[in-house]
Amino acid sequence: MNSAEVSALIAKNPTLKASKAKLESMEANAYVVHRSWGFGQIKRYDDAAQKLIIDFKGKKGHSMDPSFCLTTMDVLPPKHLLVRKETDTKTINELIAENPAQLLVETLQGYPNNAATAVEVEIVLSQVLGEEKFKKWWSAAKKLIAKDARISVPVKKTDCYVIRETPVSAEDELVEQFTSTRSARRRILLAEELVDGSDKATSQKDLVTVLAGLAESVRDSNQLDAAERLYGAAVRDDLAKLVASETAYEPTQASLIANQRDLPEIAEKIPVHFQSRFLELILATHPIETRDIVFGLLKVSQGKFTTECINFLIEQSYSDDLAATLSRWQTEQNLRAPVLLWIVKNRHSKKFAKLLNDLITPRLLSSVFFAIDYEALQAASARRIPLADILSEDTDLIADLLSTADPETARDLANTLMLNQGFEELTKKSLLARFIKIFPKIQSLVAADAESKEEQLLVSRGSYERKREEYESIVSKKIPENSKAIATAREHGDLKENSEYKMAKQDQQLLMAQKTLLEKDLGRARITDFKEASIEQVSVGSIVSVKTGGDKATYTLLGVWDGDPDKNILSYKTPMGAAFLGKKVGETVKVKTGNSEESYEVLTIARYIDTL
């Protein structure tokens, strides 16, 4: 829009006078960002219609009222990164690929005072690169940007990236950030970066200052949990070696792990790269108890720490003990998902062949299914189950585990698979196909499963809700309580003579069977209000008056879970209920009860729904 066009618009709408400068910036060929339509370019102003004609991505020639654009659209300066992406695409692509720090510098130069918040920067860069490419690129780019002396990097996303007037080395910036923060966690991270970059020219005086501050934080801060304090003490001691300090700092790393009961919680939270040092520290602090401690940590380990524990035990010459322990845990159904995942991933490794050879059996597949089912029940959301993923992705795994199975064992395991909560139905069918390839007779399971799903169970809403509550109670209360009972009973000693443990395991089998049955029944249930019942013949939802001998009685046929003998309410699946189905007035029904047989003549048929 030129000055004459803007003046004409203001003359018709005087309230736009204060926005004259922005209206004049909406000139032909200017690039813009609209709140709804995104990036675009103004093509022209239609004076007759008093509308801007703008080309947006995927919407060419879009007409918009300039007065509406004042609050919803920004005109971009020529140096803005989004504009340069259109006008100087080659240069911007080269910066993206080869010099992210320079790209950020040129981005910041488009803002007042050469500064923009981390949020603003990430929004612009994600628009330039595209959402999918940006995340991976930005993760790597931030590391290069942090080393650039020209750029001040923010601690929080609401703080600003700033182009410095005088370049500062990354090491000097770390020292500056360390002295300006009181956060103990932040201090540990900054000190660690200084230790990692110890070959750089950081002054000895600055390192001593950082060491004193870090030692104070590790000793006095109430922000740190046990794992953070231990890791902070390790970084402190590394920094002390770097500056050749002979001070005896407290607390020592050994004192922080003196209580063995604290070790599992600490192990769960320590950084991955500190895990091997943590195990070495246990060895130095608890030389006699190390074996038992590390086996205890392995049992509850997660992720990479599982591998670290196993490697440590092998390095300490506990290979035979490890093989025996894994075998015992399998027998006791105590192999947790992370350890199982390590076993199946390393089953072909020559290094671990002797250790794992006796474990690669159908029993291990049973343990895998149990662990997947358990994780699915415990999951608060639909999160990934790595053990289930590898079972799907590793096409040889099921064949390896079934290599010594007989047909009956394979069929039992296939049944277990079909009832497992950790797989979607399509995945189950895909995995079952691998069973069938080895044992073709298992094909009958597919037909049986389809048949069972076709047979729906008619239920009332009330009875369905009661069954659902029963299922939720088993899953969220009884099974977790049973798991705790098993863990407690196991601590009482020898499992062969441990009656509490045996009873708890029997309860576990019963609960899992109940859970499986309820899942199957709830999956087949179809809720009905019994409106489909007819008065022509007895059906689900009928009230039937009958005569037997010289007596008369009235029965109500309802859903499969609605039976109440005291009120003469019959489930249509009971022998008596099933016998009545399809009968008409005047017909006789014979029902066997034990050794006797009763005859019932149908007198009347009414609809249950009509009595409500």
DSSP string, 20-74: HHHHHH--TT-EEEETTTEEEEEEEEETTTTEEEEEETTEEEEEE-HHHHHHHEE
pLDDT for 485 equals 79
pLDDT at 246 (0 to 100): 87
Listed in sequence order, the residues at least 6 apart from 46 whose beta carbon sits closer than 8 Å to its beta carbon are: 52, 53, 63
| Distances 202 to 19, 34, 170, 482, 486 between C-alpha atoms, Å | 52, 47, 10, 57, 56
CATH number for the segment(s) 542-611: 3.10.50.30
How do the domains of the chain map onto residue ranges?
A: 3-75, 81-163, 397-419+431-525, 542-611
With residue 511 as reference, give the H or E element that holds it.
helix 499-524
Nearest to 170 by CA among 206, 136, 133: 206
What confidence tens digit (pLDDT) does each residue in 510-550 have?
888 888 888 878 878 888 888 888 889 999 999 999 898 88
Say if residue 154 is preceded by a cis peptide, omega within 30 of 0. no
Residue 591's SS3 state is strand
Predicted pLDDT of residue 382: 45
Compute the distance between CA of residue 334 and CA of residue 293 in angstroms, rounded to an integer. 17
| Cα–Cα distances in angstroms (integers) from residue 427 to residues 389, 405, 503, in the given order | 10, 22, 35
279 alpha carbon, distance to own chain's centre: 28
Residue 381 has pLDDT above 60, yes or no: no
Note whether 178 and 144 are within 8 A (CB): no
The domain 3-75 is placed in CATH, from the list 3.40.1350, 1.10.10, 2.60.40, 2.30.30, at 2.30.30
- Strand ranges (DSSP E) for 460-595? 525-527, 542-548, 551-558, 569-571, 588-593
Sheet with strand 596-607: strands edge to edge:
569-571, 551-558, 542-548, 596-607, 588-593
pLDDT tens, residue by residue, 196-250: 875 555 678 888 888 999 999 999 999 999 999 999 999 999 999 988 988 899 9
CATH code given to domain 397-419+431-525? 1.10.287.180
CA distance 561 to 584: 24
Q: Which amino acid is at 74?
A: D
Measured CA to CA, the distance from residue 182 to residue 184 in angstroms comes to 6
Give the tens place of pLDDT for each residue, 444-472.
Answer: 765 555 555 556 888 898 998 898 888 88
Looking at 1.10.10, 1.10.287, 1.20.120, 1.10.8, the CATH number of the domain 81-163 comes to 1.10.10
In this prediction the pTM is 0.56
Q: Is the dihedral of CA 133, 136, 139, 141 positive or negative?
A: negative
| Two tokens, residue 253 | 């790393």
pLDDT for 304 beyond 50: yes
CB atoms within 10 A of CB 303: 14
Burial tier of 185 (Cβ tally within 10 Å: 0-12, 13-18, 19+): middle
d(CA 53, CA 83): 18
